């Protein structure tokens, strides 16, 4: 009787896991694009836009975090196209990604995973240490830490205000009203 119960329990857990994997994006009614990604991209049924959570090579699944939601998507290591990283296992946790999806027999599969490249700021717009020191001496600028609030509280440059770029529209009132004030973001 004990072995039968264990086998039945395992079968129920596996069925529940397959149900979660096989549910389509439309049926799940969960967000498919992170709030930060909406600033530049549009949601569509064939993509997930969020942060790389983890990869399970044996299970051939990848986890995509979109806000508080986490998607688990199957992939075929022989056919998934990884763009912007050496391999699927080399994508750093938390990195912004877009997963292009296809559905086969009710299961979501990743066709490609594109890693967001680092932002390139033109040299003339960068502030080096010497220029920053001159700004500090003058004192007529606003320094903005654009990381999430938790990161700001972990440590920030003294005098910087926190305006997370993912919530910029909600927090822009923290910026100076004078339009000629220099604003430095980091």
State yes or no: pLDDT of 178 exceeds 80: yes
Residue 149's domain spans which residues? 123-185
Last residue of a domain, one of 71, 93, 115: 115
- CATH number, position 68: 2.40.50.320
Mean pLDDT on 77-102? 94
Last residue of a domain, one of 115, 142, 167: 115
Judging by beta carbons within 10 Å of its beta carbon (0-12, 13-18, 19+), is residue 47 exposed, middle or buried?
A: buried
Of 14, 97, 106, 17, which is closest to residue 55 (Cα–Cα)?
97
Place of tokens 């004990």: 2
Claim to verify: residue 37 and residue 107 sit in the same structural domain: yes
Mean pLDDT on 108-128? 90
Distance CA 34, CA 43 (A): 9
Claim to verify: residue 134 and residue 178 sit in the same structural domain: yes
Residue 35 in domain: yes
Better pLDDT: 180 or 3 = 180
**What's the total number of domains in the chain?**
2
Claim to verify: residue 87 and residue 132 sit in the same structural domain: no
Mean pLDDT on 95-111? 94
pLDDT tens, position by position, 133-173: 887 788 778 899 988 888 899 999 888 999 988 778 888 88
């Amino acid at each position: 009787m004990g072995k039968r119960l264990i086998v039945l329990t395992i079968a129920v857990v596996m069925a529940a896991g397959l149900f979660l994997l096989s549910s389509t994006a439309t049926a799940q009614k969960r967000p498919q694009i992170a709030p930060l990604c909406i600033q530049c991209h549009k949601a569509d049924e064939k993509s997930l836009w969020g942060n790389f959570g983890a990869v399970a090579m044996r299970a051939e699944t990848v986890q995509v975090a979109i806000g508080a939601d986490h998607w688990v998507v199957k992939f075929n290591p022989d056919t998934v196209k990884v763009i912007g990283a050496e391999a699927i296992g080399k994508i750093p946790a938390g990195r912004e990604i877009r997963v292009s999806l296809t559905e086969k027999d009710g299961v979501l599969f990743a066709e490609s995973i594109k890693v967001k490249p680092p932002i390139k700021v033109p040299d003339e717009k960068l502030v080096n240490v010497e220029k920053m020191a001159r700004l500090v001496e003058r004192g007529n600028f606003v320094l903005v830490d654009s990381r999430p609030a938790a990161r700001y509280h972990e440590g920030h440059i003294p005098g910087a205000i926190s305006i997370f770029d993912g919530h910029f529209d909600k927090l822009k009132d923290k910026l100076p009203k004078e339009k000629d004030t220099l604003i430095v973001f980091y």
